[in-house]
Structure 1
Amino acid sequence: MRRVLTRLGGLAAAAMLTVGLAHPSQAADPAYFEFTDITRERAIVRIDDPAKIRHARDLLSGRTHDRPHIFGRIIKRQADYNPRWSFHYNPETVDFFDVAIEVCDATLPYVEDHLDEAGGAFLPGLVWCPWSSRLTREVSAP
């Protein structure tokens, strides 16, 4: 039963991203945000979509508490703005959530340590939704 739920969870995560990508964003300058998780490790995410940038800024200012956690598809390589980690979010897939399925939850260090397994049973479709993720601040472009 768990295997079926895991596969359904992966499909649900992929569907969430597909719906999110169905409406291309307007061109805008990207914004960069630091986020953390339960381990207190920190990473940088690039956000390109103006509505999602606005949501991130609203979270940081306290104007909203809706959808405080970050999710999207990861790319298995380092980004110049996120040099500490061997992976980063694909900016085209970044979004926010309140509650997500377990199959896409993992901490920053766990993803780094198991990056070679990501995309299979671990983080199916490379969708990553750390449940304890929280934006901490906006940072300057690299």
Structure 2
Amino acid sequence: MYKQILVLFFLVAAVAAETAYFAFKTHGTTDEFVFKLTDDKRIKHARDLLSGATDDEPYVMGRIRKQTASYNPKYSFHLDPEAITFFNMAIEVCDATLPYLEEHLDEACGAFLPGCFYCPWTSKLTREVKDVQ
């Protein structure tokens, strides 16, 4: 009986959890940066930004991981889906453009982007990515 309840709980949790992918660019970028969201509230916020339902907290912030993600193959890093948020203002020490971060990735997580936090002030959400493989 307990095993059936536990299985049912996990099935309901799996159905309730959504995964969505979005893209943004920063100043001077030609290639979009794709990131993964797994939090329903953040997914809704990103969709609201794209639809124009809100303009609050329009910039993307997250903790970088120094490895390529399958859904973001044009960059040597990705954002940890559990650590992504949106912001209006942030401290300067976490700001950089995508090309600058890619070029200086070996320096990131030290004096450059301490704690691996990345908050590109010029990030602009461009679209929801539906064709992720």
TM-score of the superposed pair, with normalisation by structure 2:
0.85
Instruction: Please give the per-residue CA displacement for 1:40-60, whole angstroms capped at 9, x wherever unaligned.
Output: 331101011000000000000
Instruction: Please give the per-residue CA displacement for 1:17-60, whole angstroms capped at 9, x wherever unaligned.
Output: xxxxxxxxxx6121000101111331101011000000000000
1:99 counterpart letter in structure 2? M
Count of aligned residue pairs for this structure pair? 116
1:58 counterpart letter in structure 2? D
TM-score of the superposed pair, with normalisation by structure 1:
0.79
Q: What is the CA RMSD across the aligned residues, in angstroms?
A: 0.9
Unaligned runs of 5+ in 2: 1-15
2:21 counterpart letter in structure 1? Y
Equivalent position of 2:120 in the other structure: 130
Mapped partners of 2:44, 2:88: distance in 1: 17
Mapped partners of 1:139, 1:92: distance in 2: 18
Mapped partners of 1:33, 1:117: distance in 2: 26
1:74 counterpart letter in structure 2? I
Mapped partners of 1:116, 1:136: distance in 2: 27
Mapped partners of 2:103, 2:49: distance in 1: 29
Equivalent position of 2:10 in the other structure: none
Pair 1:37-2:32 in alignment = no
DSSP-derived class of the 1:54 partner:
helix
1:37 counterpart letter in structure 2? T
Using the aligned pairs only, state the percent identity: 57
Where does 1:1-142 land on structure 2 (aligned, <5 Å)?
Answer: 28-41=17-30, 42-140=32-130, 141-142=132-133
2:19 counterpart letter in structure 1? P
Greater gyration radius: 2
